[in-house]
Amino acid sequence: MRVNLMIRRLRDMDRDLLSMEEIGGAHAGNIYRIEALSGNRRVRYIYKEFADGRNQEVEIHRNIADIVRPFSRVVHVWDASPQAMLMEDLGSPLKEGFYTMPAEEKRIMIGDILKVFASFHGLNPVKDKLPVHQISSEWLDWCLDQLGKLDSRKSWARPQWKRTILEAYERLDIPHYQTKCTPVITHGDPHLENVFYKDEGIWLIDWEWAAIGSPLRDVTILMQDVYEDELIAFVPEFYLRCMRERGIILDDDDFWSDLSYLYIDHLTMMLAWEVEKYFQGYLSEERIREIIEWKIGEIERVTGEEDRNHSIERNSHNE
């Protein structure tokens, strides 16, 4: 990172840098927590300098700044090289401490997040300013590659994991699935590491993957941090209630179909990402094995449910 450039950028905003520390982790660029002086007041920010090829978020904020602003705490975006973003320091993401919360507190937190989803899902989509999301074989290919690497390195890895995922995509023809719900503005990556609570509100960071797509895109990504059957069942039902309260009625068949296909695709995506975090030393062997077993089990469950639904549909057509 170019420290002198960051100092100049802050001074252009009448802020003087007091201190900075790098935030470690698997990020799409270099991220720093900084403290600055604004007049006589100390303020804390996050300064994110984007890696080459991972600057999509700059364009997103440029194209839909008015839409993103109520749901984020971005202060400034620099379009000149190196592209960077300054946002308020929101503290720790909601994922920290989530798994030790009582069940009811988890439901309340997830419910608050779903209410925010419903807020921006209910906005008029700006189709000419955002890409359109479509399911493909991208996450399948990545996950099979990641599990192949894991299988070659660890004796406890099971070849059946790859077969389960491949069979799900083939049996349901997931790469060619066309989402059915009316397209909306989606964040595209709202797992709990990208969600924060501050000033009595829910805030989202990392809008890099924002796109026009099914609202279930965001719902099923949020579900990737949920590892409890009751909470998994709660998420879509509560989201439906949030949308109804906003006067938005989603077709029941379309809703549950999109939920199943996008959930499997995102289970596959996040499984690959969690394996990558394990390779980089951010997850223990015990934890990655728990994650893989859960996500494989969910893929099996949802695939079986969709198989039964398709069988019922075929039988009804033949009658």
For the beta sheet containing 29-38, the strands, ordered from the edge strand earlier in sequence to the opposite edge, are 16-22, 29-38, 41-50, 84-88, 74-78
* Residues 205, 194 contacting (CB under 8 angstroms): yes
Q: Which amino acid makes up residue 315?
A: N
**What's residue 311's pLDDT?**
73
* Backbone phi, psi, residue 197, to 5°: -120, 125
Distances (CA, A) of 22 to 1, 28, 259: 10, 13, 37
* Residues 299, 168 contacting (CB under 8 angstroms): yes
pTM: 0.94
Contacts with 112 (C-beta within 8 Å, 6 or more apart), sequence order: 197, 202
* Residues 44, 33 contacting (CB under 8 angstroms): yes
CA triplet 66, 68, 72: central angle to 5 degrees?
A: 125
Pairwise CA distance, residues 14 & 25, whole Å: 30
- Domains of the chain in start order, with CATH, are 3-88 (3.30.200.20), 98-318 (3.90.1200.10)
Secondary structure class of 289 (helix, strand, coil): helix
Which of 90, 80, 287, 279 has the alpha carbon at shortest distance from 195? 90
Pairwise CA distance, residues 144 & 205, whole Å: 29
Structure tokens, 276: 């990558």
**What's residue 93's pLDDT?**
96
**What's residue 52's pLDDT?**
81
Structure tokens, 152: 């070659």
Query: Residues of the chain whose pLDDT is less than 70?
Result: 1, 26-28, 314-319
Pairwise CA distance, residues 222 & 229, whole Å: 14
Distances (CA, A) of 65 to 73, 103, 253: 11, 36, 33
**What's residue 3's pLDDT?**
87
Strand partners, 245: none
Output the DSSP codes for 291-319. Answer: HHHHHHHHHHHHHHHHHHHHHHHHHHHH-
**What's residue 253's pLDDT?**
96
**What's residue 24's pLDDT?**
78
